[in-house]
Amino acid sequence: MKKKDLVLIAIVVIIAAFGLLFSYLYSNNSADLKVVITIDGNVFKELPLTEDTNEEIRVEQNGNVNVVIIENGIVKISEATCPDQICVETMPADENGEMIVCLPNKVIVEVTRND
């Protein structure tokens, strides 16, 4: 390899690193994120996902209950009446596109960008 080839490779690597860093910083900006809770495909509630949001939302439908907690920039389901409890055991969500799903209760908690 020649010196010019090495310089070109170094420049491409640096540009790619800056692009990844910018993308990471922009995508994790919680001020631009919101939590959308849907029940059986219908929007139940939308709330901002910020560090200072402290909400506990009780989602009830046909005798089924899910308790959604938003605090410290994350969202999670803390309680559910479903038999398998997969939604309760799912890791909290805090990034665009992440979801917590309770299939038996037909509840979806999704983190999305503000429009």
Give the confidence band of 18 by pLDDT, cuts at 50, 70, 90.
Answer: confident
**Domains of the chain (ranges, CATH numbers):** 32-113 (2.60.320.10)
This prediction's pTM: 0.73
Q: Which of these, 58, 54, 83, lies nearest to 68 by C-alpha position?
A: 58
Model confidence over 82-112: pLDDT tens digits?
999 999 999 999 999 999 999 999 999 999 9
C-beta of residue 62 within 8 angstroms of C-beta of residue 77: no
- Which residue shows structure tokens 């909400």? 55
Whether the predicted pLDDT of 27 surpasses 60 = no
Give the confidence band of 32 by pLDDT, cuts at 50, 70, 90.
Answer: confident
Q: Distance between alpha carbon 56 and the CA centroid of its chain, in Å? A: 17
Distance CA 8, CA 45 (A): 51
Residue 53's Cβ-side half-sphere holds a number of Cα atoms within 13 Å equal to 21
Instruction: Work out the percent of the chain whose per-residue pLDDT is above 70.
Output: 91
